Amino acid sequence: MRQIPVDTSTATVMVAKAPQPKVRDRRTGEIATDADGVKLMTVDVMFAANDEVEILSVAVPEPGISSDLAMGTPVALTGLIARPWENEFNGQKRHGIAFRAVAVTSLAAAGSASEAA
């Protein structure tokens, strides 16, 4: 499947909703894992670029998430990709774009350290 790298160098990215386990099957409550069996988390972020703002849900392996991601925390998205998807359920076609990152890292500590210097 096609994967499109996303350039975040000129974007402002902040946590919109704290990380939560990514649910694979809502009926059973099964938590999603990647190909290596690592638990996936979902982080909703505010992504502002080119005078537009969107809320993106980004899937991230649990070890790639900073421990201090509260709402409003500025973050860096490492290895962000967009992947178009399409499926059919009960005769209805659906499509969208899924986002995945290697890591979501808080920039709050980096900003505080440079302000103190």
| Choice between 116 and 68, residue whose per-residue pLDDT is larger | 68
Q: Which residues make Cβ contacts (< 8 Å) with residue 104, sequence separation at least 6?
A: 15, 19, 43, 45, 58, 60, 64, 65, 66, 69, 75, 76, 77, 78
Question: Which CATH code of 3.90.1280.10, 2.40.50.390, 3.30.2230.10, 3.40.50.20 fits the domain covering 4-106?
Answer: 2.40.50.390
- For 9-35, the pLDDT digits (tens) are 999 999 999 999 999 888 888 889 898
The answer, yes or no, to whether residue 117 has pLDDT greater than 70, is: no
- Amino acid identity of residue 62, one-letter, is E
